[in-house]
Amino acid sequence: MIPRGRRKAFVNTVRIVGAGSIGTHHAHAARQLGWSVTVTDVSEAALERMRRDLYPSRYGAWDEAITQLSPDRAQGHFDLVIIGTPPDSHVPLALAALSESPVAILIEKPLAPPAATVEQLAARAADSATRVFVGYDHVVGRAAQMIARELAAGVVGRPLTIDVEFREHWAGIFRAHPWLAGPADSYLGFSEAGGGAAGEHSHAMNLWQFFAEAAGAGRVRQVQAAMDYISTSDGAAYDRLCLLLLRTESGLLGRVVQDVVTLPAELGCKPGADAVILRRPDQEDDVRIIHKTRPDDFIDELRHIERCCRDGVPSPIDLRHGLETQRLIRAAHETARLGTRITLDLAPPEGGDGAPIRSQQHV
């Protein structure tokens, strides 16, 4: 979804909405690129926590070049607006940001709660010169991009299947959110609010869709999910396991596993590195180690956004792809609830998120 109209120069002024964990990551990434950063939050306590605790504990010291303001005091034009708040506020904040005509908007994943209406955002974005991105940053990382190039080039032939897992216990997530006592303290502990394994770890769904498209297999056509929902004594209600079987419009069948129960987390090949391993019969493995840290992911993401805005090229984190993953999250919950396999309506995604169900087949 590349907007029509004349594009403005990207001169690197950033407003970050939300002073939590993701806002802190993006503030540091933008400053590493030399950009001017303003952080706004409705909570003065959140701004202070970011300044005194979060940022220094991750990056050594607070960066005095970062401006912190309440939302009503953030004046002037910003090239990039980053929305790093809970999912139920993403669409209203993005619509408000579109009225300010920035060069780009980056919305943290998931795009919205599963049942949220996102058609208005899709329509407004399609008619705007503003680029809208959704923060599935792993697909623009160096490892995923390398795999996509190999798939597109046919180096390994046409894939017989694709399997993506994103498994991490809550403990790792809450170490990054030390002000939260547990899932019930935020949207993370509520599937209907965009939390649980399906929402929090939807990077895996998004990666599966990205690799399928890179391989020429097309969009996801059928979804069958098994979910393990739990309710806790402190009021949380979420899916701790999200298991998906996906089939594309060309017939490629594969699997996605997302959970919040696996210890230790199964992320990367080793701390500080990813690996791409090309394995062929009767040949030694071609192992490519990509050294990077989690902060590097956000720096790469912002560089990617700047390049896409400058050159006017499509992006795997464009709103169109975020809408596709949003629809898949919704369909996962629906198929688990109904005990059916769901066939998705593959109407052009630019027109909205689309009805998630065209037909149902009991299995």
For 150-190, what is each residue's pLDDT tens digit? 999 988 888 999 999 999 999 888 888 889 999 999 999 99
Q: Tens digits of per-residue pLDDT, 122-149?
A: 999 999 999 999 999 999 999 999 999 9
Asked if residue 237 and residue 190 are part of one domain, the reply reads yes
Same domain, yes or no: 236 and 348: yes
Q: Is residue 180 part of a domain?
A: yes
Q: What is the distance between the terminal CA atoms of the chain, rounded to a whole angstrom?
A: 35
Q: Is position 3 within any domain?
A: no
Q: How confident is the model at residue 273 (pLDDT cuts 50, 70, 90)?
A: confident
The reported pLDDT for the residue numbered 352 is 47
Q: What is the CATH number of the domain that holds 286?
A: 3.30.360.10
The pLDDT value recorded for residue 15 is 97
310 located within any domain = yes
Residues 288, 264, single domain; the answer is: yes
Decide if 8 is inside a domain.
Answer: no
User: 108 and 69 in one domain?
Assistant: yes
Instruction: Give the pLDDT band of residue 357 (cuts 50, 70, 90).
Output: very low
Same-domain pairing of 160 and 25: no
Q: According to the 3-state scheme, what is the secondary structure of the chain?
A: CCCCCCCCCCCCEEEEECCCHHHHHHHHHHHHCCCEEEEECCCHHHHHHHHHHHHHHHHCCCCCCCEEECHHHCCCCCCEEEECCCHHHHHHHHHHHHCCCCCEEEECCCCCCCCCCCHHHHHHHHCCCCEEEECCHHHHCHHHHHHHHHHHHCCCCCCCCCEEEEECCHHHHHHCCCCCCCHHHCHHHEHHHCCHHHHHCCHHHHHHHHHHHHCCCCCEEEEEEEEEEEECCCCCEEEEEEEEEEEECCCCEEEEEEECCCCCCECCCECCEEEEEECCCCCCCEEEEEECCHHHHHHHHHHHHHHHHHHCCCCCCEHHHHHHHHHHHHHHHHHHHHCEEEECCCCCHHHCCCCCCCEEEEC
Within this chain, do residues 132 and 222 fall inside the same structural domain, yes or no?
no
The verdict on 185 and 278 lying in the same domain is: yes
| 360 has pLDDT over 70 | no
- Domain span including residue 276: 139-292+321-362
The string of pLDDT tens digits covering residues 85-121 is 999 999 999 999 999 999 999 999 999 999 999 999 9
Rg of the Cα atoms in the chain: 20
pLDDT of residue 7: 55
Is 1 inside a domain boundary? no
182 belongs to a structural domain: yes
158 and 184 part of one domain? yes
- The answer on 169 and 90 residing in a single domain is no
Looking at residue 266, what is its pLDDT?
A: 66
Question: What's 95's domain CATH number?
Answer: 3.40.50.720
Check whether residue 64 and residue 51 sit in a common domain.
yes
Same domain for 182 and 101:
no
Number of domains the chain is built from: 2
Residue 6 domain flag: no
In terms of domains, do 270 and 345 share one? Answer: yes
pLDDT recorded at residue 254: 98
